[in-house]
Structure formats: structure tokens, C-alpha cells
Amino acid sequence: MGTIQMVDLHRQYSRLKAEIDAAMQEVVESTAFINGPQVGAFASHLAEYMHVPHVVPCGNGTDALLVALMSLGLKPGDEVIVPSFSYVAAAEMVALLGLIPVWLDVDERTFNLNPWQIESAVSPKTRAIIVVHLFGQCCDMEEVCKIAEQNHLFVIEDNAQSLGAEVIYSDGNRLKAGTIGQIGTTSFFPSKPLACFGDGGALMTSDDWLSTRIKMVANHGQQVKYQHKIVGVNSRLDTLQAAVLNAKLPHLEEFAASRRKVARRYDEAFGNDERWTIPYQAPYSTHVYHQYTLQVAGNRRDDLQQYLKSKGIPSMVYYPIPLHKQPAFYGFSRNGSSLNVSEHLVTSVLSLPIHTEMTDDEIDYLIETVCSYGK
């Protein structure tokens, strides 16, 4: 048995080495490092996979959020609703543009924002909501979109952690996460569900006008070279990264399936145990298990983490501080709801290793070790 890692990038590379090396070598030989044909090809392949008309690659997942907000033409002082239990990027890009983050609490079963609280967070200045599909599972998009529409809010989906997950509608229809709001964003950071060998990201939309805006914003506000209609940024996906992504995209469903297999083993082993709660499977979403996150009871999270570490098993706390308690946002944000769940989750969550290359031996050892805690 090898060393258990949160995500085993090396083993995945070894398995796909022939395809990836050939794709990268082709770019190197062509020297088309910026906007080579692989970038456009990847955008088309991803659009086809997602069933969405437009995919615009960009530099990383944080840029994708920045470009999304800039494309919607929001003005300084406008408010954007964001979850307080989340990664920092969405709220950070909101604040960077002089917009006001409005914190919303999350549902303690799903870790995703609670649609029923959106309405009370809305003020006359609220223009948009950024939903984050956290840990591999979608928000309740049917409800989110209904409420957003009634309140004239744009919906941006931060889909960095849930690429490939599907929203299941009450009529049984399914749509890929990231294709439902006005704009979806994602990241191809090396640990994400679809990952490249460095930084990468993308935006997706069904709106032709917005796709034009997004391309302009990501390219210095120009459609024609040296004619700058609006202020933009430079955010591109490297051709080398696009080549890696082209090689990996056909495996994305298989990646999700192997993670689900690990999650099922964990569920069986850790379910119905009062020492912790296993991840909840929402009826309105599939789960791609970007993280497998336990909620540990009785303030024993840190103790369990130490114990696992002593047995050679890594684990992570995503996230240790709710965003509304981060000094970066003091004085530049407002609470849209009580944030009790976020404040509790930061003390109880623990994410266990889960990845596409876990062996049965590793899963067995992890299960045995977690179950032996406190015995």
C-alpha cells in the first residue's frame, strides 16, 4: 500500500501518461503556446459535454468569477449574495470590484446555500447571487432560480468543485451544474474534478450576448485587436493546459464514478454512527464527491484529525473560518441572514482523502482507522 494522499495527482498522471504526454508534446512542437488550436477545441469539447452553447476558457477559476461579474456590468455599491461557508474567491472578486458581499448561511446537511433565505437577504441594491456548488454537489437550483427571477437577480454558478454534477429537476429533467444560471464558472486547478497541470478556468453561458461580453472582458475589452470598447483583463487558458484538459475530459465521467465508489464504501462504514454524520445526498443533485466531508460530533474534530495523522492518514478542514469573519471583508459586507450554521460547520467538518486512484487496500485501511477512533 502506498502513502494515502488527499488527491493522488501522480498516480492519475501515470495511468494517462501516454495520452497526456503526446498532447503536450504536440503543443511544444507547434510552439503555439498562446491561443493555439487546442484551446478552441477544448472549449468546443467542454460545451458539448455540458450541453451549453458557449464555453470561454480563461486563466483560472478566480478570474472566471471576476470576468463573470464584470460582464454583467454591475456597479460599485451593488450587492451580491454569496455563501459565508465557502472558498474565498467569489466574495473576494465581489469586493475587488467595489461590490458588496451579502453573506448567506448554508444548509447544514448539504453545505450549500439555503434558497429559502435568499429573499430576506435582498435589498434594493441587490443585483446578483453567486451560488457555489460545494464539495461536488449542486445547490437546489430549481428553487434558487425561481427566487432569483422573482427578485430580478442574476445567478452566477461557481462550479469549480462540481464539474460534471447534475441538477435533477422535480420533473426528472437533468442539467449540468454551471449551465443553469446566466453564467457558470469553473477552475481546472490540479485538485479539481477536471484538472490541468497548473492554473486554468472557464466560463459558460447560454446567452449569445453575454458570451460576446465575456470574451471581450477576458481579452482586454477588445473584439478587434487594439480597439478597446470596455475595460477588461488578460485572462487566458495556456495551450499546454488545454492539451492536458483535452486528454482528460473524456475520462471525467469515469473519474466521478471512481470517487462515488469510494464514497459508497465510506457511507457504508461510517453511516449510523453517532460520532459523526456522513455527507447528505440531496434528491435534487447528483454528487461527484470533490470532497467527502464528515461532520464530527462533540467538538472532537481536531482530535480525530490528530489521530488520523498519527496513523498516516491526511485530512483537511474545508473551511476553518467562515468568510464573514475574515478581516478582509470587515466594513465591506453585510449579513443577509443569521450565519449560525456556517459558524458551527467550521468547527465540525473534516474532509477525508478521496480520489480517482484509491486502491481497495487504502480504502480498507482508512475505514478501519477511522472506525477505531476512540475505541
Which residues of the chain form contacts with ligand PLP (CB under 6 A)?
60-62, 87, 89, 132, 158, 160-161, 187, 189, 199, 201
**CA-wise closest residue to 82 among 351, 333, 349, 338:** 333
Q: Which is nearer to ligand PLP, 315 or 370 (CB)?
A: 315
Closer CB to ligand PLP, 66 or 282, in the complex: 66
Cell numbers found for residue 291? 470532497
Nearer to ligand PLP (CB atom), residue 100 or residue 132: 132
The residue behind cell 448567506 is: 104
Q: Which is nearer to ligand PLP, 71 or 304 (CB)?
A: 71
| Cβ at position 189, least distance to ligand PLP in Å | 4
Report d(CA 5, CA 197) in Å as an integer. Answer: 18
Distance, in Å, from the CA atom of 292 to the CA atom of 265, rounded to the nearest integer, reads: 11
Output the smallest distance, CB 26 to ligand PLP, in A. Answer: 24
**How many other C-beta atoms can be found within 10 angstroms of the C-beta atom of residue 306?**
11
Closest by alpha carbon to 304, among 296, 213, 27? 296
Closest residue to ligand PLP using C-beta atoms = 61
CB of 130 to ligand PLP, least distance (A): 9
Question: Based on CB atoms, which residue is closest to ligand PLP, 60 or 112?
Answer: 60
What's the number of CA atoms in the CB half-sphere (13 Å) around residue 284? 15
User: Do 70 and 217 form a contact (C-beta atoms < 8 A)?
Assistant: yes
CB of residue 172 to ligand PLP, shortest distance in Å:
28
* Rg of the chain (C-alpha set): 21
Give min distance, CB of 90 to ligand PLP, in A.
Answer: 6
